[in-house]
Amino acid sequence: MLSGKTVVLAVSGSIAAYKVPNLARMLRKLHCHVQVLMTKNATNFINPITFETLTGTKCLIDTFDRNFQYSVEHVALAKQADLVVVAPASANVIGKLSWGIADDMLTTTIMACPCKKLVSPAMNHNMYHNPIVQDNLKRLASFGYEIIAPDHGMLANGDSGDGRMPEEWVLLEYILRELAFPKDMAGKKVLVTAGATREPIDPVRFITNHSSGKMGCALAKVAMLRGAEVTLVHGAMEVKAPLFVQCRPVVTAEDMFQAVEELAPQQDMVIMAAAVADYTPVTTASQKLKKSDGDMAIPLKRTQDILAWLGNHRQPHQVLCGFSMETENLLENSRAKLQKKGCQMICANSIAQEGAGFGTDTNILTLITPEKTEELPIMTKEQAAGEILTRLMQL
């Protein structure tokens, strides 16, 4: 995912430095070239050998105490870098960077880097809220540095407060957002629905389905990574919604319909990946179920067909895509749905095949448009999301 990219990890003196070797390892797994810069203070928290072993690259620490090769290295590295991530960024390094002080390898190199820079402050609550540090962060932001807000939680000294560096996977998501894909969807507004709706029978029970939300989240994530502005309307999910997408949690099919009705007119692309329960109980006070009711049938009514509504209210420029889950006659039934629901593409999903359908990390899809039927091989849901989005962009 990151092959051919160079990330400079700039590590300064904060206990949160212990998280960065794991981030370096995650980046290497994605085939990223990782170059670590450390302040002298950072070496009190983490041994440079840890980074050198994980990245296979010499750790750069000080401009003056190394040989010639390393003292000129920073200029070459600055040219090569696709992204600089200052993590953890101590109050001292934030202060130096914001005021143009370059007195060691780390600050000198960053100052020579023309690429985007992310800064992840990590310090004690009171230091973080010190108006001088806050001013310096604002100054860095005004020069185009992106500040990753620290988490609230338990700090190294046992106090609770702001200033905790986010988990490694969060930092990785920030990096992926910058580097993982070309931004061919920049300027596009995309609405994705995901997960399962829940239709309450009574205060305890509900009707639902097996949707995990994985396919919808993969679509939202890949669209976001490709630069789109993404809104995710989601029911119950087994997975966390991706970062950097606008989330609108809903419960019932009716809630989902209301959210979609409100949001769809502004979208360039709408993808219904949610598994909407087809029926909802008709609940009135007199129909509340009692334990003594035994085999009593629950009165049901059909839910609003959201995709069909979208098809009927499609904006001229809008691309509309739905999914279909079938146990038999997959292609025939899915083609009929394309027509019936008035969308441009149906992603047909056979739940009978191994490696496809609810809850799995992979999928086997057939993409159906009025002109074409294209069977995709088994692939991860993120890869499938990429294929779907590429085709929708071409419609």
Residues with catalytic function: 209
Q: Does 323 bind ligand CTP (CB under 6 A)?
A: yes
Q: How far is the CB of 184 from ligand CTP (least distance, A)?
A: 24
Which of 45, 358 has the CB closer to ligand CTP? 358
Which of 136, 197 has the CB closer to ligand CTP? 197
Which of 117, 337 has the CB closer to ligand CTP? 337
Question: Out of 274, 319, 320, 365, which residue is the one contacting ligand CTP (CB under 6 A)?
Answer: 274
Question: Out of 92, 252, 303, 350, which residue is the one contacting ligand CTP (CB under 6 A)?
Answer: 303
Assess contact for 175 and 85: CB atoms under 8 A: yes
* Cα dihedral value 13, 87, 17, 102, nearest 10: -30
Q: Does 276 bind ligand CTP (CB under 6 A)?
A: yes
Q: Does 322 bind ligand CTP (CB under 6 A)?
A: yes
Q: How far is the CB of 191 from ligand CTP (least distance, A)?
A: 12
Number of residues that bind ligand CTP (CB under 6 A): 14
Q: How far is the CB of 263 from ligand CTP (least distance, A)?
A: 14
Q: Does 325 bind ligand CTP (CB under 6 A)?
A: yes
Q: How far is the CB of 384 from ligand CTP (least distance, A)?
A: 15
Which of 390, 343, 341 lies closest to 369, judged by CA?
Answer: 343
Q: How far is the CB of 237 from ligand CTP (least distance, A)?
A: 14
Q: Does 122 bind ligand CTP (CB under 6 A)?
A: no
Q: Does 305 bind ligand CTP (CB under 6 A)?
A: yes
Question: Out of 237, 253, 269, 330, which residue is the one contacting ligand CTP (CB under 6 A)?
Answer: 253
* Parallel, antiparallel or unpaired: strands 345-350 and 189-194: unpaired
Q: Does 236 bind ligand CTP (CB under 6 A)?
A: no
Three-state SS annotation for the chain: CCCCCEEEEEECCCHHHHHHHHHHHHHHHCCCEEEEEECCHHHHCCCHHHHHHHHCCCCECCCCCCCHHHHHHHHHHHHHCCEEEEEEECHHHHHHHHCCCCCCHHHHHHHHCCCEEEEEECCCHHHHHCHHHHHHHHHHHHCCCEECCCEEEECCCCCEEEEECCCHHHHHHHHHHHHCCCCCCCCCEEEEEECECCEECCCCCEECCCCCCHHHHHHHHHHHHCCCEEEEEECECCCCCCCCCEEEECCCHHHHHHHHHHHHHHCCEEEECCECCCEEECCCHHHCCCHHHCCCCCCEEECCCHHHHHHHCCCCCCEEEEEEEECCCHHHHHHHHHHHHCCCEEEEEECCCCCCCCCCCEECEEEECCCCEEECCCEEHHHHHHHHHHHHHHC
Question: Out of 62, 238, 261, 278, which residue is the one contacting ligand CTP (CB under 6 A)?
Answer: 278
Which of 93, 307 has the CB closer to ligand CTP? 307
What is d(CA 229, CA 80) in angstroms, rounded to the nearest whole number?
29
Q: How far is the CB of 52 from ligand CTP (least distance, A)?
A: 50
79-87, 268-276, 369-377, 379-387 -> range binding ligand CTP (CB under 6 A): 268-276
What is d(CA 377, CA 32) in angstroms, rounded to the nearest whole number?
27
Which of 38, 232 has the CB closer to ligand CTP? 232
How close are the terminal C-alpha atoms of the chain, in Å?
A: 26
Q: How far is the CB of 194 from ligand CTP (least distance, A)?
A: 9
For ligand CTP, the binding residues in 333-362 under the rule CB under 6 A are 337
Q: Does 105 bind ligand CTP (CB under 6 A)?
A: no
115-123, 171-179, 182-190, 316-324 -> range binding ligand CTP (CB under 6 A): 316-324
Which of 108, 366 has the CB closer to ligand CTP? 366
Question: Out of 155, 272, 330, 389, which residue is the one contacting ligand CTP (CB under 6 A)?
Answer: 272
Query: Contact positions toward ligand CTP, by CB under 6 A?
Result: 253, 272, 274, 276, 278, 303, 305-307, 322-325, 337
